[in-house]
Amino acid sequence: MSGTAYVGIGSNLDDPLAQCEAGLAALQGLALEPVAGSPWYGSTPLGPAGQPDYVNGVARLRTALAPAALLAALQRIETERGRRRDGPRWGPRRLDLDLLLHGAHQCAGPTLTLPHPGLTHRNFVLVPLLDLAPDLRLPDGTPLRVIAGRLGRQGLWRLRSPGAAGTGVLPPLAGPVRVR
């Protein structure tokens, strides 16, 4: 069985942009075709204050792995990349790879819920997801664009695109992208 999956990528420790780029590169090992990466965004932390800002993005991959196997593979990459699971809940993290959507799969279990429960509440997930797939809908048919419109873009700012030359933050954009 192959399907199209979307994976949320996040980091706020140890050069977050480099961590996210490395996470994106590692996803290629799980994919049947070249992985597509969204632009990277900076985001203010959801959760306890006093932790560094995050870098967030989303990847799209065609994969032969079923949802549970893909989740296990994502957790293996997190661990290989030095993610520790003994920190505080909602505390800072080196690399987070969240399975957001896997085709039209829907499930709610102890280890995996699809669509990801945070998907419809977090603009740092929805905005890059819609950059990749502007017409994407939830399995129940709701256009994600509608949900993203309600959430707005507060606490989210655009960084450079994946693979672009140079590093760091682009100059502020004139349009509505950089709202903080």
Which stretches of the chain bind ligand ROI, using CB under 6 A? 10, 43-47, 54, 56, 90, 96, 124
Could you tell me the smallest distance in angstroms from the CB atom of residue 33 to ligand ROI? Answer: 26
Say which of 98, 122, 153, 158 is annotated catalytic: 98
Residue 2 CB neighbours (<10 A): 13
Are 155 and 122 a contacting pair, CB within 8 Å? no
- 83 is an active site residue: yes
Are 7 and 26 a contacting pair, CB within 8 Å? no
- 96 is an active site residue: yes
Closest residue to ligand ROI: CB criterion: 10
> For residues 82, 41, 49 and 108, what is the CA-based torsion angle, rounded to 10 degrees?
-70
Q: Which is nearer to ligand ROI, 38 or 43 (CB)?
A: 43
Could you tell me the smallest distance in angstroms from the CB atom of residue 118 to ligand ROI? Answer: 7
Partners of 63 in beta bridges: 3
- 93 is an active site residue: yes
User: From CA 127, how far away is CA 112, in angstroms rounded?
Assistant: 22
Q: Which is nearer to ligand ROI, 102 or 122 (CB)?
A: 122
Active site residues: 83, 93, 96, 98
